[in-house]
Amino acid sequence: MNFREKTAWLNVIAMVAAYALYFGLLLSGHPAGREVFPMLWLFGSIATAHAVTVIVGTVILSAQAPKPERARADERDRAIRRRGAAMGYYVLLVGMMVVGVYMPFVERGVPLANAGLFAIVAAELVNSVVVLMSYRRGWHG
């Protein structure tokens, strides 16, 4: 498994762990689902932990990887990245329509913000999973 594939795994695992915890807590009735400050506090803590995990993990993976693997992204890496973002775009587009065009008629405040966060997380997750699957399946653009 090469360096870029390992970082794709790291992204997917860190994201699933962090946001499963966040949205799991919301579903179990945490005040972050209703009030601004608990939401900012919980989301801020989890997003920071997620970012630190990804940064530290990437540094460790980078230090362990042989130099040729750390070279700049080649044509295939760029094509895979574009493919991931393209798939994520459609997820986010649908999410944005639900959150931005339908939900303002029926919701407001924190639930709306959480729905927006869910749309971003879902899109980023699809993006990362597509990148990972493309490396696994040997997709080459």
Partner 1 sequence: MSFREKIHWVTLVTMAAAFGWYFLAYPWQVADGPAGVWATAGLLVPVTIAIIVAMTVATAFLAIRNRAEVDIREDERDRGFHMRGTHYAYYPLVVGIWVSIFLVFWGVGQAQQLNMMIATLVLAELVRIGTQLYLYRRGY
Helices (H), 28-109: 36-64, 75-96, 103-106
Q: Which is nearer to partner 1, 69 or 83 (CB)?
A: 83
Distances (CA, A) of 10 to 15, 20, 33, 79, 115: 8, 15, 28, 20, 25
- Tokens standing for residue 55: 């940064």
Region 33-52 residues binding partner 1, contact defined as CB under 8 A: 36, 40
Out of 65, 113, 122, 133, name the contact with partner 1 by CB under 8 A. Answer: 113
Out of 85, 122, 125, 133, name the contact with partner 1 by CB under 8 A. Answer: 85
Nearby residues of 110 by Cβ (< 8 Å), 6 or more positions away: 32, 33, 34, 35, 36, 39
Q: Which is nearer to partner 1, 14 or 130 (CB)?
A: 130
Which listed range, 27-35, 49-57, 59-67, 101-109, lies at the site for partner 1 (CB under 8 A)?
Answer: 101-109
* Shortest reach from residue 96's CB to partner 1, in Å: 6
Q: Which residue has the tokens 């493919």?
A: 83
Out of 117, 129, 130, 131, name the contact with partner 1 by CB under 8 A. Answer: 117
- Is 26 near partner 1 (CB under 8 A)? no
- Residue ranges in contact with partner 1 by CB under 8 A: 36, 40, 79, 81-83, 85-86, 88-90, 92-93, 95-97, 99-101, 104-105, 108-110, 112-113, 116-117, 119-120, 123, 127, 141
